[in-house]
Structure 1
Amino acid sequence: MKACQQLAITQFGQPSVLAIQSSDVPVASDSQVLVKVAYAGVNPIDAKTRAGLGWAAQQNQDNLPWVPGYDIAGEVVEVGVGVKALKVGDAVSGFVGFPLLGGGYSEYVAVEADVLSRVSKAVSLVEAAALPLAGQTAWQALDKGLVSADEEVLILAGAGGVGHIAIQLAVARGAKVTASCSAANMTFVSSLGATAVDYHQAPLFKQIKPVDVLIDLMGGDTGIAALDCVKTGGRVVTIPTITADAVCEQARQRGLLADGMLVSPSVEQNNAMMGMLESGDLQLSIAAQYPLSEGASAHQDIETGHTRGKVVLVVDGDI
């Protein structure tokens, strides 16, 4: 078997610090499978870690070069002796190596078999790679916010990777969803079932009536400003960890129930959303696909904060 090509963070800094390296193809342990990766999802946490920000960066500062990436989809090419649920040739996807191991930006990954979802022929591998981290973040944010039918929910950055999934999951729960976006994304966000609001037009609290729940996917000053949109006693879930404490403190001063959130991998949730993809009840927007060797461009893209849907790396698109 040939050597394994990976895209690694060589030092913390700008996207240019990402470089291709070669390693031995990993060997699956008794409880693992070896996956030949077709696509790897690119997420904001990858870019923040590469820049040296956040917990994963702190924990891996002495482990550079380090291969990022938590979303993969591909084909099983080797099965550990203790694995019964998967076989060679199965198409799989999963949320892997979170938060310290990473490794998704790689041609081959050895993964615990029980964290992987099967991918049906009705779902493309590029969609399967784009789903896990963003989808589970959206699902768990709605759970933490106790979002239920007929509640008014505001989702910031509704056109983004997490946002466009969160809109659809909230609508599926029967919630009444409003989502912020740019003018260019108004039609897209509306097509997902939300009332789209252009954040450039005026402060959000001047454009919408008070909501029961805020799902803050922006954090910082934007997240804090959106607190004015929430009813007294309402709930706030803020996702960006770097500003979570500041947003939550401001929320509590306004009489709101607020909490930050770190996503936790759940194969059950991934399986459920894979089923929604297969049935057409969930749509994934792929903003761009970049070859593994152009990972720096993918990071530049995602750092603009204006991508519509998910960015993915093409590791072996012929699978």
Structure 2
Amino acid sequence: MPSNAKIVISQFGAPEQLEILDSDIPSPQEGEVLVKVSYAGVNPIDVKTRAGLGWAAQHNKNNLPWTPGYDISGVVLKQGEGSRKFNLNDMVTGFIGFPLRGGGYSQYVCVPESELALVPEDISLKAAAAIPLAGQTAAQALEKAQIQSGETVVILAGAGGVGHIAVQIAVAAKTKVYATCSADNLEYVNSLGATGLDYANTDCLKEIGHIDVLIDLVGGDTAIQAMKHLHPGSRVITVPTITASSVCEHASQMGIIGMGILVEPDVTQLEELVKLISAGMIKVEIEQVLNYQDVVTAHKKIETGRARGKILLNMQS
């Protein structure tokens, strides 16, 4: 009987606190399926939670060891009672267990079938694992901003996991898109249809002129500095929850509309994103796929804030 390796947070702290434990393969309950996980996405929220920061950490502190991970792709191995949505061996993707249950950093995980979307054969399981949390965060941030064709949209960190999807959705909505990134990623961001701006130039937003919408994927001082280039009536959507209240407070002092966002899993929206990838309308960038044993390296890479696109763990390697 194969065992189920899973990565756990036994105590909050540095990346080295992550451990790999072996457990039994779980059995799906009513309405669930057992997924053999191919790839798990690594997200900034995983890193913050592991460090003991934010809502998921606060609510799981008495529930350690806890398995992080909200993005998975894989294959349906077993169906629980009443499970009708998928067939055995279907390829699936999901934004699972958010924010408290998690569990994606596992070789096998039981998931309510309502949290999963079917992956068509023309999409790789890598791309399918990269889209759930980042894609839905990007889509929901832009929905909340109510972007309109012809508006000027600035995206902070436009080459990252959420950023590169947000850029493509905003370009498709016929807005004028500017995106900050490192010098190494300028060409990449331009290839997505935006104008790349090197964030090492602290005045990079100055030349734009009128900015209607700021999508802040960085938070803190970076967001507050960027708001100097906005005007009363501009909209700011700030994604990092830890600094959201200070960013929104600063916005209101400037007469800017500031809103935080906590992404909400929405399987219908996930199915739409999968269709857009299938149609070639969204291209998913994956910087690196690491063996799950190298999860510490993956977390350190996310902490640098310099990943282009997504970092994935190969859970079967």
Helix, strand or coil for the counterpart of 2:163? helix
Q: Distance in 2 between matches of 1:84 and 1:69?
A: 25
**Counterpart for residue 173 of structure 1:** 173
Percent of residue pairs identical: 51
TM-score of the pair, normalised by structure 2: 0.98
Segments of 4+ moved more than 4 angstroms: none
**Counterpart for residue 42 of structure 1:** 42
| Alignment of 1:144 onto 2:144 | yes
Helix, strand or coil for the counterpart of 1:93? strand
Helix, strand or coil for the counterpart of 2:109? strand
**Counterpart for residue 54 of structure 1:** 54
Unaligned runs of 5+ in 1: none
- CA shift for structure 1 position 202: 3.5
TM-score of the pair, normalised by structure 1: 0.98
Helix, strand or coil for the counterpart of 1:298? helix
CA displacement, residues 152-171 of structure 1 (integer Å, 9 cap, x when unaligned): 10000000000000000111
Helix, strand or coil for the counterpart of 1:72? strand
- CA shift for structure 1 position 84: 1.5
Unaligned runs of 5+ in 2: none
- CA shift for structure 1 position 148: 1.8
- CA shift for structure 1 position 262: 0.5
Question: Mean Cα displacement is larger for which, 195-204 or 26-35?
Answer: 195-204
Contact 1:26 1:110 in 2 (8 A): yes
- CA shift for structure 1 position 55: 0.8
Q: Distance in 2 between matches of 1:14 and 1:125?
A: 29
Helix, strand or coil for the counterpart of 1:232? coil
- CA shift for structure 1 position 61: 0.8
**Counterpart for residue 96 of structure 2:** 96
- CA shift for structure 1 position 204: 3.1
Q: Distance in 1 between matches of 2:112 and 2:258?
A: 34
Q: Distance in 2 between matches of 1:221 and 1:112?
A: 39
| Alignment of 1:256 onto 2:256 | yes
Helix, strand or coil for the counterpart of 1:76? strand
**Counterpart for residue 288 of structure 2:** 288
CA displacement, residues 253-290 of structure 1 (integer Å, 9 cap, x when unaligned): 11111110100001111111101111111001101111
- CA shift for structure 1 position 234: 1.0
- CA shift for structure 1 position 183: 0.9
**Counterpart for residue 210 of structure 1:** 210
Contact 1:49 1:56 in 2 (8 A): yes
Q: Distance in 2 between matches of 1:48 and 1:95?
A: 18
Aligned length: 317
Helix, strand or coil for the counterpart of 1:236? strand
**Counterpart for residue 72 of structure 2:** 72
